Structure 1
Amino acid sequence: MYFIDVILPIPLKQAFTYSVNKDEAAFLKQGMRVAIPFGKSKVYTGIVYQVHDQPPVGYETKSIDHILDENPIITPLQLKHWEWLAAYYMCSLGEVIKAALPSAFLLESETIIKLSSRNFQDEESLSDDEFVLYEALQHQSSLHINDARAILDRKNIVSIIQKLLDKNIIEVEETVYEQYVPKMKRYIKLAPKYTSEEKLRELLDSLTRAHKQREVLMHFFMLNTKTKKPISSTALQKKSEASAATLKALIDKGILEEYYVQQDRVEFSDEASSEIKTLNEAQIKAYGEIKSSFETNDVVLLHGVTSSGKTEIYVRLIEEVIATGKQVLYMLPEIALTTQLITRLQKYFGERISVYHSKFSVNERVEVWKNVLSEKPKSQIIIGARSSLFLPFKNLGLIIVDEEHEPSFKQYSPAPRYNARDSAIVLANLHKAKLLMGSATPSLESYHNAKTGKFGLVTLKKRFGNVLMPDIELVDIKEKTRKKQMTGHFSDRLLEEMQEVLKNDEQVILFQNRRGFSPVVECTTCGISPQCPNCDVSLTFHQYKNQLRCHYCGYHMAMMKSCIACGSETLDTKGFGTEQIETELKTLFPNSKVARMDQDTTKGKHAYSKLIEALENEEIDILVGTQMLAKGLDFRNISLVGVMNADNLLNFPDFRAHERSFQLLQQVSGRAGRTQKRGKVLIQTYNPYHQILKQVSVNDYEAMYKEQLEERYNYKYPPFYRTIKIVFKDKNLTRVQKASVWFGQALELQFKENILGPEPPPVGRIKNKYIMNILVKIPKNQSLEKTKKYIDNVQRSFNSIKEFSSVRVNIDVDNY
């Protein structure tokens, strides 16, 4: 007997053993997919972990349904990396696999019901619901379980299906769908019998009456002489302005023939069109330092001010690595960035670039996966967000983590709750590749690692072309309000600068880190403001849809005409978001083109690129946006950046609030004046004397670093202590409190004063679940391995307590 251990994409820590025959055992390899029965009637896709001949102890093995792959789709190095992710971030390998593989690879069973072959006569004996299903099956041969749910308008229909099964009226079959379908492109060619000139002449004569068909043919010959490439049906239709019916008539007559070619869904222009820019003196120096630092360090941090030309240095390094035939992974925190970067890198590398992120369809991601696996030239350079880390690289030479300080590199939900920057270091290590991090405002941890010699450190202090850093001015809006110098949310200083910039045909970016129109709507009579029924937050007013929305669970309702508590019609909005700024701008600058960039306006697949393109083509005069704007976007004509209110960043209940505020404000400022003219940044605040704002205004990263480091040391936070956050969620408040206290006390027995909590977070209920947090602080001299093991044991005991069985526990390692 032969057996295979299979990992299922479910949150269970063990692998499952299935029996296979001799031939299957010889064919199967680690990393292949198999369809396997699981439970009573489920079919899952599992990943083969190992093939062996040891029967499991204590249970009878089932045999597999069928093998889905000819060759492994996961490499041994990938599995090694995923095992590390599962161990380090305290989750199961199944959860990592579910996050890593495009969902088209992970088929789950789809329950299909159909009428049994026996004739059923006794319709009277059926209940109403049973009869409705029976009747529906008379009209169509089979029903998906979700269709049956929709027909009956009930969630739980298993019992009804079970009764119909018992009566032998229906049958159930579990089918697995192979979801990935290659995209086929339709091409047209002339039928072979018409290739001689004589036959062609006869053909054209015979079509004297069919003008449209003749026209299509003439255009076909014209295209054929112009290009040696195959002619697609869409190109022919477009050129000849013919309908699909005309084309079909020619195919039916046997004059033209159609054929299909598999085509990749994501394509870029053919050739690299430009030479790599020559580096300036500072860049050459930095480039040299990176190269020599790589000789002794595997990880190097490039600390270069905004607009110092870090991308050009990356390009030079990429060029070197791909010349040796190795692959390069270029990771970015934000999809908005990839759109702009692709255009830049395409100029240098043409078709050798593939892109991988969540805005792509499942089929597009499968294609990139397969290209990387088979080391196709078009996937030598991968640009992607954090999920690109999971691709099946075989020959990785360099990883670049741009904007490494970005919180978007951290996945908060679902598991694995990994940090892509840290995981990339391990990936590079497995491939014996080099890793370069770049940032104008590095995270405290990375900078500390570089300062203490763990990473190499290279600095780039000058902007490209010796452009001056922007002039940053703090505007005291408390003083401006007192002197009545505010128009809406704009100070006279900001409006004055904006008018000046717009007069010179230059562009403005305004930053406000809140979307929507206003975060609170309040009744001026009784003071009540509408709250979300599922979360402990007030609803945000979105004017463009005239809706109140919850930004946590998505609940929404129409904006009220009057107060729900007292009926008064005097409702007032408190606070402001990007939408309100946009509305005010349209009144203040009626002749300027205003656009907004936040989650509401960038929902579509190409929404980012359209906005960025419009800004680059100077079709937008003023762009209002949230922190999406702060990422490393490069616009040539922005000479003013306005920060509407810096205070809501600083007063956030998080130990990283000040570091994040500095990074965000510094990054936003970096969008200004990236060409010869010096840019201007105006930061509106109620507290212009705040230490962080002063440091931002003089670009003093070192001062911020020293001050924050001292605070972290005093209060036992990273980089001096490691942290693990344990989150408890349940619908019952008393139960979740009781459970978290039990867990906290068990941890205190071992870790004493290094346990914080249990405490509710700032928003204590989301999606009708109450939340409690415990923070475990781990000093450097304490074994991380043993700490995790202890937490694991506590969790095991916790899971055996029946009273807490409904409480969800999430563990977040390095929760920053």
Structure 2
Amino acid sequence: MKEKEDKELFVEVALPVSLFMTFTYKIPSYYEANQLIGRRVLVPFRNTKMTGIITDISCNPEYKKIKQIESLPDKEPVFTEEYIKLIKQVSEYYISPIGITAYYAMPEGLRWKYNKKTQKWIKAVSEEKVYTPAVVSLSGIQRLSEKSLRLLEFIMENGEVTKSQIKEAGFSESSLKTLIKRGYIKEEKLIFTEDRLKQPDKIFGESPVEKGIYIYNSEPAKKRLNKYIHISLKNTKEGRSTLILFPSIKAIKEVFPYFKKVFGDKLFVYFDPIPEKEKIKIWFNLKKLQGSITIGTHSSLFIPIKNLSTIIIEEEYSEAYKNQRTPRYDARRVAALIHKIKEKNAIIYSSSIPSVESYYLLKKKIGKELFKGNILKRKNPKITLRKFSPEQILDRKILDFIKNESGNFLLITNRKGYASFLYCNRCEDEIKCDRCDIPLKIYTKNGEKYLRCEICGKKYTYKQICSECETPLKEVGFGIEKVEKSVKEYIGEKEKIDIISNLSGKEFLTNEYDYVININPDIFLYIPDFRGEESFFRAVCMPYLKTKKEYIILTNQGKENISINALLNKKPEIFYNEELKKRKISGYPPFSRLILLTFEKKELSTEKVEKLIKQWINKEKINNINYEGPFLAYHQTARERKRIQVLLKDFKEKEKIINLYRLSSKKGIKLIIDVDPRKIF
């Protein structure tokens, strides 16, 4: 019996289930224990089978009936021990089940699913295509079903989507094929060929970066690109690897030729739409090859790249770096965790207008400036502040200016759709979605207006009269569609006029223009979020960096506004220092850690959530807790479910939130845990 026990080997396996634990399995004794951590395994689980990852070797398990693994499908571990440690830390920090964290960290092609009917393993289907809009607005769109129109709107809002994203959003294959056939969207294979290569700017040498945290905000995007090439050249020469993250696939496609020309087959590209076989090949190659350079989206962070010495996060402020499903990690934080695990690692947080958190790192001397300089002083176009009138978005003087000037123009609307909502003066209320209880946004199709809910996507017929009191309804606000209509009606089909909704996350995608008109960026100041002022500052500064001759801001803010004052004086520190003072007083990041808890159920009230929170506090014997709420979420209802939120500040006992999750589940309440939320509404 003793001999048998010595031969038995047990492992802890992380499985993709909503349980905050691993599961013990037997493994054949002929496997070497030191080669098992990070291996993918296929195991029986309850009445089915699952794909899991070995996280630990288990010694003397207490359980009597322990199942044996079915197989180890790979010749080597998917993750190194360092990256298993990273997955554990991400799981712990973001209060995410370790199995789900590990599952979504690896390529989709390795996430096999078991079909109980056929008793076969289903391997993920390759998705090598990305879909982008071929139209700039819904004006003139004809003969589309409601589902196809909603899919087109979804693709237009996101700019680029994969087939998996389309499926996750609930759209069908037939709607996708309809849009392709009608020419409303483009289907692109993500193949990077040599004939697309461009000659990069002259490279003057190699720039080494020592270990540490760096902030790079002194130069525009294209200049930063050359510095990345310099840094990567030095790393590659010394057998060290570089990972550069971008907020979108479009940005990666834009910069790819520059890197390919220099690095050739040392360059790897990694993001979701790449064919799964290719992604798996890239994954295992990067585990073995030293001196590589990888450009990708935030999912690239979990690749166990050999000799990774430098991580660069471009446009680090972008919301695209916050994962929107469990685990709800932030790429900036995951990079910092890698930095701690890899002691000789360097992180570079890059952007033209850095986040307040990045500026704080500089101020506290936790981070260092990669290159010194003030980006606002690199440009000198004329800045004009003009009063914005909601009744007349673009007045005749502005329209005549656009019509008569010979240069090219960029108009930034800061809004989507046609108008914000319909309002009844007598009822003193907006026309709302009957499922989500939020104001319906106005859109146009074939010149006809309609209403749509921004949460559930349900469409409603446009109405001119209030159904409650028969008072004429008033359109409030504007969007990109209304601006396009106004410009076209007054100016006609003039070339060299581009109209976009925003510049955020598009530093590599937008050229410079002679004239830039920024239409009412004030909207960011009315967002019920502590980052509203920061969003406004970025919204007024980013267009300035794309302007050659004159930058016109249509705003109701004056020179006394801290953001505008900082821009006019070309001193960004004016804004950052004032914003840090406000956040310190209010107890917001970077002076505190926030956890946003969102409770969802059909019949839910703040009183029920308050009772639940108190029950949890008493049961867990929590003595030191600081929280705001419960309060109604900004969007109080979503898909007929009430949404109540609680905001925890600097809560140290995060592991106890797991029991709040369990307690909520028992009462049929869905709990969404968002650690370090980018938004608190």
Shorter chain as denominator, the TM-score bin is 0.7 to 0.9
Would you say how many aligned residue pairs link Structure 1 and Structure 2?
Answer: 605
Q: Which residue of 1 aligns with 2:434?
A: 533
Per-residue deviation, 1:562: 5.9
3-state SS in 2 of match to 1:372 = helix
| Aligned residues of 1:276 and 1:315 also touching (Cα < 8 A) | no
Per-residue deviation, 1:757: 1.6
Per-residue deviation, 1:764: 1.6
Confirm or deny that 1:720 pairs with 2:591.
yes
In the TM superposition, what are the counterparts of 1:41-440 in structure 2 within 5 Å? Answer: 42-51=48-57, 54=59, 56-112=61-117, 173-179=118-124, 266-269=191-194, 274=199, 276-278=201-203, 291=208, 294-295=209-210, 298-306=212-220, 309-360=223-274, 362-375=276-289, 380-411=292-323, 413-431=324-342, 432-440=344-352
Per-residue deviation, 1:329: 0.6
In the TM superposition, what are the counterparts of 1:683-702 in structure 2 within 5 Å? Answer: 683-688=553-558, 689-702=560-573
Confirm or deny that 1:468 pairs with 2:468.
no
Which structure would you say has the larger Rg?
1
Distance 1:729 1:737, change over 3 A: farther
Q: Which residue of 1 aligns with 2:669?
A: 807
Q: Which residue of 1 aligns with 2:4?
A: none
3-state SS in 2 of match to 1:369 = helix
Per-residue deviation, 1:424: 0.9
Rounded to whole Å, the distance in 2 between the matches of 1:748 and 1:19 is 37
| Aligned residues of 2:248 and 2:505 also touching (Cα < 8 A) | no
Greater displacement, 333-342 / 344-353: 344-353
Q: Which residue of 2 aligns with 1:556?
A: 458
| Aligned residues of 1:34 and 1:65 also touching (Cα < 8 A) | yes
Confirm or deny that 1:583 pairs with 2:497.
no
Rounded to whole Å, the distance in 2 between the matches of 1:20 and 1:638 is 63
Among 361, 369, 384, the alignment partner of 1:457 is: 369
Higher relative contact order (CA 8 A, sep 6+): 2
Confirm or deny that 1:542 pairs with 2:549.
no
Rounded to whole Å, the distance in 2 between the matches of 1:525 and 1:629 is 38
Q: Which residue of 2 aligns with 1:447?
A: 359
Confirm or deny that 1:498 pairs with 2:396.
no
Per-residue deviation, 1:81: 1.3
| Aligned residues of 1:2 and 1:20 also touching (Cα < 8 A) | yes
Q: Which residue of 2 aligns with 1:565?
A: 467
| Aligned residues of 2:566 and 2:575 also touching (Cα < 8 A) | yes
| Aligned residues of 1:534 and 1:765 also touching (Cα < 8 A) | yes
Q: Which residue of 1 aligns with 2:631?
A: 759
In the TM superposition, what are the counterparts of 1:663-702 in structure 2 within 5 Å? Answer: 663-673=538-548, 679-688=549-558, 689-702=560-573
| Aligned residues of 1:328 and 1:398 also touching (Cα < 8 A) | yes
| Aligned residues of 1:525 and 1:570 also touching (Cα < 8 A) | no
RMSD: 3.4
Rounded to whole Å, the distance in 1 between the matches of 2:15 and 2:658 is 22
Rounded to whole Å, the distance in 2 between the matches of 1:724 and 1:710 is 21
Q: Which sections of structure 2, spanning at least 5 residues, go unmatched?
A: 1-7, 129-188
The TM-score normalised by the length of structure 1 is: 0.68
Among 655, 658, 676, the alignment partner of 1:792 is: 655
Per-residue deviation, 1:806: 1.2
Per-residue deviation, 1:111: 3.4
2:502 aligned partner, one-letter code: Q
1:64-93 Cα distance to aligned partner (Å, 9 max, x none) = 233321222222222121111112222221
3-state SS in 2 of match to 1:710 = helix
Per-residue deviation, 1:107: 1.5
| Aligned residues of 2:16 and 2:100 also touching (Cα < 8 A) | yes
2:632 aligned partner, one-letter code: P
1:268 aligned partner, one-letter code: T
Per-residue deviation, 1:320: 1.3
1:464-500 Cα distance to aligned partner (Å, 9 max, x none) = 9x9633332211124xx7xxxx7x4113453344235
Per-residue deviation, 1:277: 1.8
The TM-score normalised by the length of structure 2 is: 0.80
| Aligned residues of 1:494 and 1:642 also touching (Cα < 8 A) | no
Rounded to whole Å, the distance in 2 between the matches of 1:182 and 1:632 is 27
1:338 aligned partner, one-letter code: I
| Aligned residues of 2:221 and 2:508 also touching (Cα < 8 A) | no
1:324-364 Cα distance to aligned partner (Å, 9 max, x none) = 23221111223332222223333433443332234545455
Distance 1:513 1:99, change over 3 A: farther
2:564 aligned partner, one-letter code: L
Greater displacement, 717-726 / 628-637: 628-637
| Aligned residues of 1:3 and 1:25 also touching (Cα < 8 A) | no
Distance 1:181 1:548, change over 3 A: closer
Rounded to whole Å, the distance in 2 between the matches of 1:383 and 1:416 is 22
Q: Which sections of structure 1, spanning at least 5 residues, go unmatched?
A: 113-172, 184-263, 594-620, 674-678, 779-786
Q: Which residue of 2 aligns with 1:608?
A: none
Rounded to whole Å, the distance in 1 between the matches of 2:631 and 2:441 is 26
3-state SS in 1 of match to 2:623 = helix
